[in-house]
Amino acid sequence: MKKPKRASAAKAKKGRKISAGRSKSATKRPAKPPRRGASLDGTKDSAKIIRGLRSKLKAAERRVAELEAAADTDFLLEIPNRRGFERELTRAIAYMKRYRATGALIVLDVDRLKPINDSFGHAAGDEVLKAIVGALTRQVRASDVVGRLGGDEFALLLWNLNETDAKAKAAAFEQAIDELSFVFRSQNVTAGASAGVALLGAHSDAGRALEEADAAMYVRKARRRHEPRIRLVSN
């Protein structure tokens, strides 16, 4: 008779465990949904990252623009170098082809710059070049372009000039540079310039225009050797 009692007691104990487990599972709270703040925080973080990336992109674009400008600019004279000037010339000719505009290209070579460098040093030559750029820029319009092709050679892109006006402008540039005077080591020094002209229009090509103006400049330089010039150095 004792064995059945023990079995019933075990069954009763097992029943209590089952019922206890059911009560616990019944009373267990459901999982909470994600807080609204958590998703908002994620959105805010994403927006912050996007703003940061945009800021870095703008800074990179500014840096690229600065490097491109530096690559197109003469470091000493702060005017377009050959690369920058040729780009401006190509753009100008494209505009002329589209709108039937005209202009002139003047290539100008500084006379006697090498003797100045040899006699007084490159710092003196740099001073002469800066003064020449100042003399040129004072005689051109804001739409015109003054560039340095290299060494002692300059180029000017001038808008809306016929052949007569362009040649007169080239002569005026020569005169302005001839009249410049410098004092190095207590000595008066003058330079000079020779200019060649090429007309620009709808049928122009940048490379050929530069070659034409350069050839005209050398012809002019040869003629100026036989003209009376101010001496390089005078006491």
User: What letter does residue 182 receive in the DSSP assignment?
Assistant: E
pLDDT value of position 49: 86
Q: Is the pLDDT of residue 233 over 50?
A: no
What pLDDT digit, counting tens, does each position of 74-91 carry?
999 999 999 999 999 999
pLDDT value of position 8: 56
Give the percent of the chain with pLDDT over 90. 64
Report CA dihedral (219, 128, 207, 165) to the nearest 10 degrees: -60
CA distance 72 to 137: 18
Sheet holding 182-184, edge to edge: 182-184, 187-189, 233-234
Q: Is the pLDDT of residue 62 over 90?
A: no
pLDDT value of position 12: 54
Average pLDDT score over residue span 141-151: 97
pTM: 0.71
pLDDT value of position 232: 41
Q: How far is CA 226 from CA 53, 83, 113, 115, in A?
A: 65, 34, 18, 18
pLDDT value of position 226: 77
Q: Is the pLDDT of residue 227 over 90?
A: no
Top pLDDT among 28 and 107 is at: 107
